[in-house]
Amino acid sequence: MLAGKRIVLGVTGGIAAYKAVEVCRRLVDAGAHVVPVMTAGAEHFIGRTTLSALASEPVQTSLWDEASPIPHTRLGQSADLVLVVPATARLLAAYAAGLSTDLLTNTLLATRAPVIVCPAMHTEMWEHPAVQANVATLRARGVHIVEPESGRLAGGDVGAGRLAAPERIVEAVARVLDAGPLAGLHVVVSAGGTREPIDAVRVIANRSSGKQGYAIAAEAAARGARVSLVTTVDLPVPAGAQVHAVETAAQMQEAIEQLAASADIIVMAAAVADFRPVAAAAGKLKKDQGTPQIVLEPTPDILAGLGERKRPGQVLVGFAAETSDLLANAAAKLTRKHLDLIVANDVSAPGVGFQHDTNAVTLLRADGSVRTIPLADKRSIAQAVLDTVDDIRGT
């Protein structure tokens, strides 16, 4: 995925420096040529030998200990990308202010390559207005920021500031370098269950958690696609995906139809309500008004509409959530909605479908071929779905 790409990996002095080792390994595994640069602070946390052993070149730490008199310009000019993992508050401040205090900050100022910084620090520091202002300055200059996550921090505290997971960082590198197999493609994914209002407080909903849709969005972004995620749920946004929050089937239809005009691949993993109340009561229905008679009407079939207007070359993927006659029902939907692929899941089976972290699916293609994926985590299911989409596209 990153073959031939030269990446300068800057490591600064935070406890998360040990995770830079894993990032380095993953970049090298993906084919990148990794040139590590450590700050003096980083050496308090990890040894040079560890990074040197995994990277493509020995670690560099100083402006003065190289044969080359100007190592920073050589590093900056030859890089396809400069990545800083972790980026401390000091590094962010120096870079935002244009201060060249060491080899890494000199390299950052001497490069025209894209730069990704991955901040990690304690919550209080991350939320400090000075740090946030520096991040905003860097972002406004076009620096890519892989935001830290919330979770357990050094010393047992819990909060925002934990370094993003190594796989998210490597995904960001692939995305910025436009290096994945889906680079240049626009993928639209729907996720979650729609909510149809009965009155001001009540809705008709379903059990979809959005996990399967988010896994597909994350995998598509990791493969280099521009991803639009139309969602009814509020899960952590996969790096690189643009979220469009919706609630009802009508809102989902409007968002998806707009995005479909430029979509190369559309994956409808959402559980869209088939019926909605004809009219939602303006206020809250009261018990003393008697049992309400809720009249339902069918919602628009978003996927069927997309199938009718499919552009040449566009790949349309639906899901089928079934509790009986899995293959027959899914095949009927594949044909009726003019799909290229339908992902059938028997949601009555243990660990399958709604809310679980796992799924088991059968992939039915318009050309009649069938592939079964036994119970696996939803990211693995997403990989199988996108591998099949690749096949359909003939890539």
Dmax of the chain from CA atoms? Answer: 87
User: Which C-beta is closer to ligand PMT: that of 26 or that of 276?
Assistant: 276
Minimum CB–partner distance for residue 199 and ligand PMT (Å):
22
* 373 binds ligand PMT, rule: CB under 6 A: no
Q: Is 368 left (phi over 0), alpha (psi -120 to 50) or beta?
A: left
Are the CB atoms for 375 and 359 separated by under 8 Å? Answer: yes
Near ligand PMT in 240-269, by CB under 6 A? 249, 268-269
* 354 binds ligand PMT, rule: CB under 6 A: yes
- Residue in 86, 166, 180, 210 binding ligand PMT, rule: CB under 6 A: 210
DSSP per-residue codes, 153-201:
-GGG-EEEEEPPPHHHHHHHHHHHTT-STTTT-EEEEEESB--EESSSS
Cis-peptide into 71, omega within 30 deg: no
206 in active site? yes
The amino acid at residue 210 is: G
Please provide residue 319's backbone torsions phi and psi, each rounded to the nearest 5 degrees.
Answer: -115, 155
* 277 binds ligand PMT, rule: CB under 6 A: no
Question: How many Cβ atoms are within 10 Å of 320's Cβ, its own excluded?
Answer: 23
CA dist list (Å): 136 to 126, 163, 177: 12, 18, 22
* 231 binds ligand PMT, rule: CB under 6 A: no
Q: Which stretch binds ligand PMT (CB under 6 A): 6-14, 83-91, 148-156, 271-279?
A: 271-279
Exposed/middle/buried for residue 289 (C-beta within 10 Å: 0-12, 13-18, 19+) = exposed
* 212 binds ligand PMT, rule: CB under 6 A: yes
Question: How many Cβ atoms are within 10 Å of 100's Cβ, its own excluded?
Answer: 17
Q: Which stretch binds ligand PMT (CB under 6 A): 100-108, 151-159, 168-176, 345-353?
A: 345-353
- Residue in 11, 24, 163, 321 binding ligand PMT, rule: CB under 6 A: 321
* 217 binds ligand PMT, rule: CB under 6 A: no
Q: Which stretch binds ligand PMT (CB under 6 A): 129-137, 167-175, 281-289, 319-327?
A: 319-327
- Residue in 61, 88, 134, 209 binding ligand PMT, rule: CB under 6 A: 209
Q: Which stretch binds ligand PMT (CB under 6 A): 37-45, 111-119, 121-129, 298-306?
A: 298-306
- Residue in 61, 111, 134, 208 binding ligand PMT, rule: CB under 6 A: 208
CB within 8 Å of 258: residues ≥ 6 apart = none
Minimum CB–partner distance for residue 296 and ligand PMT (Å):
13
Distance, in Å, from the CA atom of 279 to the CA atom of 199, rounded to the nearest integer, reads 8
* 238 binds ligand PMT, rule: CB under 6 A: no
* 211 binds ligand PMT, rule: CB under 6 A: yes
Minimum CB–partner distance for residue 386 and ligand PMT (Å):
15
* 270 binds ligand PMT, rule: CB under 6 A: yes
* 301 binds ligand PMT, rule: CB under 6 A: yes
Q: Return the structure tokens found at 151.
A: 């979770």
Distance, in Å, from the CA atom of 7 to the CA atom of 30, rounded to the nearest integer, reads 12
* 95 binds ligand PMT, rule: CB under 6 A: no
Q: Which stretch binds ligand PMT (CB under 6 A): 15-23, 130-138, 165-173, 207-215?
A: 207-215
User: Which C-beta is closer to ligand PMT: that of 6 or that of 333?
Assistant: 333
Which residue, 203, 312, 311, 212, is CA-closest to 257?
Answer: 311
- Residue in 51, 61, 353, 363 binding ligand PMT, rule: CB under 6 A: 353
Which residue, 165, 88, 86, is CA-closest to 128?
Answer: 88
* 299 binds ligand PMT, rule: CB under 6 A: yes
Distance, in Å, from the CA atom of 25 to the CA atom of 37, rounded to the nearest integer, reads 15
Q: Which stretch binds ligand PMT (CB under 6 A): 117-125, 129-137, 235-243, 317-325?
A: 317-325
- Residue in 33, 60, 318, 389 binding ligand PMT, rule: CB under 6 A: 318
Q: Return the structure tokens found at 72.
A: 């920073």
Which residue, 266, 264, 178, 180, is CA-closest to 219?
Answer: 180
Q: Which residues are catalytic?
A: 206
Interface residues with ligand PMT (CB under 6 A)? 208-213, 249, 268-272, 274, 299, 301-303, 318-321, 333, 345, 347, 353-355, 359
